[in-house]
Structure 1
Amino acid sequence: MTLPPLPEEDHHCESCGLRYGDLTTAAALGLIRSYPTRYRRRLQHLPVDVLRRRPTSGVWSALEYACHVRDVYDVYDTRVRRTLTEHEPTLEPMRNDERAEQRAYNQQSLAAVLLDLERNVDRFAALTSEISEPQWSRSAVRLPRERRTVLWMVRQAAHEGLHHLHDIGAGATDKAVLFDVDGVLVDSYPAYRRIWSRWADHRNLDPDMVWSHTHGRRPVDTIQVVAPHLDAAAEYRLIREFMAHEGDNFPVYPDAAAVLSLLKDRRWGVVTSGRTPTVLHRLRAGGLPDPPVLVDSSQVRRGKPDPEGYLRAAQLLNVPAPDCMVIEDAPAGVEAARNAGMTVIAVRTTHPDDELAGAHHRADTLSDAIPLITDWLDRTHP
């Protein structure tokens, strides 16, 4: 029987939207750890006949997909361990359809499958978390000229779980995820600190005092607070001149692409204190997609912490505010999202924990937020 070729190292799955090149090791691990809960939530309430029903000839049932994903983490645990300890071992193919028939996937107990899936994921995640930097490039072969690295194996394992959630239906799609930009998708902290410090020095203001009023606010709002005696519009033009001198010193965060790829076929958008042309330029420069909805500073009368921006984004996406999740990094943004009645995850990219206490959840990075995002999205009820 001819085996289908393995995905390439830089594979892009058109079906579930995942790009291997965008998937950092931390993001892959976050995805993998989320699957036991996501599969349990998706499958445990299905009637038995629905659980075991093949929608068409040659297409697996939901239970068969769950069995396959369970076995993926067992097989890939062995594959990675061999590759870490042997010189380019030859890997046995899984032969998925044969395995499904021989092991009677469709007759197995869902409770036992879900328990084994959790155990296999835990074991594989523990192994993956211990891999050192030089080990990611170690490789193995399956067929002649089919050489794949440890990094590919972990990405492939993450992809298997996500792809088959899409095969069986990943849950409700009537929710939306909204992102702040600076400090969440774009690492603008160092550049903006230089810009505001330069402006503060130019106007004989305390740079630390000025900086403390910038986070999550529109620049004109910051100017009006720290220098009410100045013409805010004129000063904003000066700040934009300083910003132009920074050039492209506004990189996207390494995990931003992987997180956005999870939202294929989902509703999402951004709410920013910046301006649309600048935001789109930075997102595109980092290889990120254009947001389906973008609410910038020109579209609201009141900036964060007022909830107007987030409420407008929810309206444009046609999603009730309580069905929106917000990813923020600044206290003003957290307050705006809370005031809008939305669930908030705060990432600790620019502020310490005690300043983000208003968020429902806190995470160090976008990768760490993946299980929180996927768990919330997969819930049938808020």
Structure 2
Amino acid sequence: MTEHHETPQPDTKDWTWVLERACPGCGTDATSMAPGEVAVAIRSALPRWGAALSRPDARVRPRPAVWSTLEYGAHVRDVFRVFHHRLDLMLTREDPEFPNWDQDATAVENRYADQDPRTVATQLAASGRGLADAFDSVLGRDLERPGRRSDGSGFTVVTLARYAWHDVAHHLHDVHA
């Protein structure tokens, strides 16, 4: 079991600005990526996540209030799952409102820090491949289909893909992978 430290402060920032400009924190520029390019990027990131989660210190937090590589990996696994569901909603419903996802509450409720890094790596890879395959299957006519978060932030299939990729890439940067 992992020694628990203080709970990281919830991330309350609105990250949708990454759809308009490169992220100065991680260097990712997803502003012109198509869903197919996001699919390629996701697939190329999966071995990096696997390597990071196999490190002996994957469970160790760099600072008490900063997630460990394991916690970030569990989060990214769930990012893949949540965004896959959101994409499915956008492709099957007219302008759906996405169910709210409190990522910080999910981390606590699902005990990210206590999960097995090998299991998380396997699940992350499977979920990542699933989302990549879903982005690859988007038809041109569906690229501008809308959907929105419960906070009102609107997305198209294209911007959802870009937003998802930034999240994954940013957390690769966070874990130095």
TM normalised by structure 2 equals 0.86
Give the SS at the match of 2:66.
coil
Determine the structure 2 residue equivalent to 1:166: 173
The CA distance in 2 between the partners of 1:38 and 1:86, in whole Å, is 34
Residue type matched to 1:4 in 2? K
Report percent identity of matched pairs.
Answer: 29
Determine the structure 2 residue equivalent to 1:241: none
- Structure 1 residue 6: Cα displacement: 4.1
Give the SS at the match of 1:21.
coil
Against the structure 1 CA distance between its residues 109 and 145, is the aligned structure 2 distance closer, same or farther, given a 3 Å change threshold? closer
Check conservation: 1:6, 1:146, Cα contact below 8 A: no
The CA distance in 1 between the partners of 2:70 and 2:52, in whole Å, is 11
Check conservation: 2:26, 2:170, Cα contact below 8 A: yes
- Structure 1 residue 167: Cα displacement: 0.2
Counterpart pick for 1:26 among 26, 29, 36 = 36
The CA distance in 2 between the partners of 1:153 and 1:141, in whole Å, is 10
The CA distance in 1 between the partners of 2:75 and 2:173, in whole Å, is 14
- Correspondence 1:1-382 to 2 at 5 A: 3-8=12-17, 9-44=19-54, 46-47=55-56, 50-170=57-177
Check conservation: 2:87, 2:157, Cα contact below 8 A: yes
Check conservation: 2:30, 2:165, Cα contact below 8 A: no
- Structure 1 residue 35: Cα displacement: 2.2
Q: Point out where structure 1 has 5 or more consecutive residues left out of the alignment.
A: 171-382
TM normalised by structure 1 equals 0.41
Give the SS at the match of 2:147.
strand
Check conservation: 1:32, 1:157, Cα contact below 8 A: no
Give deviations 1:163-186, integer Å, cap 9, x for gaps.
11110112xxxxxxxxxxxxxxxx
Q: Which has the higher contact order (CA 8 A, sep 6+)?
A: 2
Against the structure 1 CA distance between its residues 144 and 69, is the aligned structure 2 distance closer, same or farther, given a 3 Å change threshold? closer
The CA distance in 2 between the partners of 1:72 and 1:16, in whole Å, is 17
Check conservation: 2:91, 2:142, Cα contact below 8 A: yes
- Structure 1 residue 155: Cα displacement: 1.2
Q: Point out where structure 2 has 5 or more consecutive residues left out of the alignment.
A: 1-9
- Structure 1 residue 122: Cα displacement: 1.6
Residue type matched to 1:56 in 2? R
- Structure 1 residue 24: Cα displacement: 3.2
Check conservation: 2:79, 2:164, Cα contact below 8 A: yes
Check conservation: 2:53, 2:118, Cα contact below 8 A: no
- Structure 1 residue 55: Cα displacement: 1.8
RMSD: 1.9
The CA distance in 2 between the partners of 1:92 and 1:111, in whole Å, is 29
Give the SS at the match of 1:91.
coil
- Structure 1 residue 144: Cα displacement: 4.9
The CA distance in 1 between the partners of 2:71 and 2:133, in whole Å, is 25
Residue type matched to 1:10 in 2? E
Give deviations 1:358-381, integer Å, cap 9, x for gaps.
xxxxxxxxxxxxxxxxxxxxxxxx
Residue type matched to 2:33 in 1? L
Give the SS at the match of 1:15.
coil
Q: Considering only CA atoms, is the larger Rg found in Structure 1 or Structure 2? A: 1
Name whichever of 102-111 and 25-34 sits farther off: 25-34
Give deviations 1:284-341, integer Å, cap 9, x for gaps.
xxxxxxxxxxxxxxxxxxxxxxxxxxxxxxxxxxxxxxxxxxxxxxxxxxxxxxxxxx
Give the SS at the match of 2:143.
helix
